Amino acid sequence: MGTVVDAANKEANRSVLTNKKVTVVFVLGGPGSGKGTQCANVVEHFGYTHLSAGDLLRAEIKSGSENGTMIQNMIKDGKIVPSEVTIKLLQRAIEENGNDKFLIDGFPRNEENRAAFELVTGIEPEFVLFFDCSEEEMERRLLSRNQGREDDNIETIRKRFKVYMESSLPVIEYYNSKGKVRKIDATKPAVEVFGAVKALFTPLNSVPTIILSHVSA
Ligand SMILES: Nc1ncnc2c1ncn2[C@@H]1O[C@H](COP(=O)(O)OP(=O)(O)OP(=O)(O)O)[C@@H](O)[C@H]1O
Ligand SMILES: Nc1ccn([C@@H]2O[C@H](COP(=O)(O)O)[C@@H](O)[C@H]2O)c(=O)n1
Ligand SMILES: [Mg+2]
């Protein structure tokens, strides 16, 4: 019976966004810790949809939106865009997508992001995937990323590290106090990092199989 009860509880804990039930995993860690790289692996192996807050903001700049210039200036300066802008983008992306399980990468980035998202959407993360990586390694990765990002220069990188330490780490500490953080050593090679990530998603994914075998027994 345990597995059925556990599965039912898991179902009840899923959050409601307007009329859609969704499962959300927040993916956090410093700039260049490998969030995007590992999210791509989780999408491929576990069928999640990857929503990167940074990617959504960059797309908003390209779309010619009225907020474009403000967002561009904040990204160039490593600052955090006001929550209402980022939350609207996330909310729209979730509502427009047919999937019901999402990796939200690079969000919440500060206490304002966290509290506003919870208030507006009612969504609580299933867990928080935290990529722990040394600053030295993150700086090396960002300087050789070569994706043409305007914020991958040493001046902006230093600002992003400062914002991460001052504003983003407290959010991770908040979720840690609630027992939600799953910390991964992200300094290792990407294949090894994914080995640790995979182990976290496998139990979630195996729940329906357990229910089926229970029912048919
Ligand atoms: N474990 C790893 N070892 C070495 N290089 C890695 C590792 N993971 C990712 N990289 C490389 O480091 C760079 C940054 O990775 P990625 O873009 O995934 O980081 P991120 O956390 O999403 O960064 P940002 O917060 O700036 O978006 C990329 O060039 C990626 O290929
Ligand atoms: N919640 C967020 C996430 C990102 N930003 C801005 O985008 C920049 C790039 O983010 P990445 O996750 O792609 O590294 C980031 O430095 C911020 O300027 C944000 O404002 N709020
Ligand atoms: Mg990224």
Residue type, 124: E
Query: Mean pLDDT across the stretch 80-95?
Result: 97
Q: Which residues pair with 127 in a beta bridge?
A: 25
Q: Where does ligand 2 bind, in terms of residues with CB under 6 Å?
A: 31, 52-54, 57, 74-75, 78-81, 86, 106-107, 109, 113, 151, 160
CA distances from 160 to 16, 80, 138, 163 (A): 32, 9, 11, 5
Q: How many CB atoms lie within 10 A of CB 95?
A: 12
Structure confidence by residue, pLDDT tens digits, 132-185: 999 999 999 999 999 999 999 999 999 999 999 999 999 999 999 999 999 999
pLDDT digits (tens, 9 = 90+) for 10-52: 454 455 555 678 999 999 999 999 999 999 999 999 999 999 9
Could you tell me which of 10, 42, 3, 43 has the C-alpha nearest to residue 197? 42
Q: What pLDDT score was predicted for residue 7?
A: 44
List domains and CATH numbers for the chain.
30-200 (3.40.50.300)
Please provide the distance, in angstroms rounded to a whole number, between the alpha carbons at the two ends of the chain. 12
DSSP 98: S
> Looking at the predicted complex, does its ipTM rise above 0.95?
yes
* pTM to 2 decimal places: 0.91
Measured distance CA(175)–CA(12) in Å, rounded? 20
Mutate to test the pocket of ligand 2, among 28, 57, 60, 160 (most ligand atoms within 8 A of CB): 57
The two three-digit tokens of residue 215, written as one number: 């029912």
Distance 210 CA to ligand 3 centre (A): 34
